[in-house]
Structure 1
């Protein structure tokens, strides 16, 4: 089962999206900010995907989470979400997929599926 680290500061959005991802067959670990995400990446690693909001409180952005994800596991697929248009954001790394808010959960699931998840051993 592919593992997802989902980083979102909005608790309700985080809970609803996590449930939908789990229903779609992903094992989800939640983080409420970038600092918690970085700790989880360092301690647990092994994530196939990281989904993170770009702008979060606490001084660590989704871009920094994406960098930490690549450092913890090169090849980890990262999806950054934001309510801002891409023109309003700093330049995103080439390996990062952008998804604008608001999005439907099915769009996120389709984006994960299109990111060629690693094949899990049964």
Structure 2
């Protein structure tokens, strides 16, 4: 069974690297992007990304909430986890079926969120 690919989007390199390590230790393949623009390019280039983990506060053309909304519209099967240490978004600010984790979160809670996200991934049509 192929490993699930997680796209991690955070403008803080150390946080992004730590998240990638957490994802790898939990059995996922991690891709990294420093902002929403890089994330969109990766999503357009690689059609097997199944989980998005994004911070809210990021520089660039869109923040993490706008990125999450764009991903939900363009890539509906992608499971989304949004994080922030500064913003506590209202449920109505998050796209449907999005998990929020406040920073600082533990490695254990992120691993659990990734495992939960993996359990929500639906098989692609014709690949059951």
TM-score by length of 2: 0.82
How many residue pairs are counted as aligned between the two chains?
121
C-alpha distance in 1, partners of 2:76/2:104? 29
Name which of 104, 107, 127 aligns with 1:105: 107
Contact kept? 1:9, 1:32, Cα under 8 Å: yes
* Corresponding residue number in structure 2 for 1:44: 46
Flag the 1:113–1:89 CA change in 2: closer, same or farther, 3 A: closer
Is the partner of 2:82 in helix, strand or coil?
A: strand
C-alpha distance in 2, partners of 1:15/1:26? 14
Deviation at 1:13, TM superposition (A): 1.1
Q: What's the RMSD between the two structures over aligned residues?
A: 2.3
Superposed counterparts of 1:1-122, under 5 Å: 1-86=3-88, 91-115=93-117, 116-118=119-121
Structure 1: segments with no counterpart, 5+ residues: none
Deviation at 1:69, TM superposition (A): 2.3
Contact kept? 2:7, 2:33, Cα under 8 Å: yes
Deviation at 1:105, TM superposition (A): 1.6
C-alpha distance in 2, partners of 1:94/1:71? 10
Contact kept? 2:83, 2:102, Cα under 8 Å: yes
C-alpha distance in 2, partners of 1:53/1:77? 15
Deviation at 1:26, TM superposition (A): 0.3
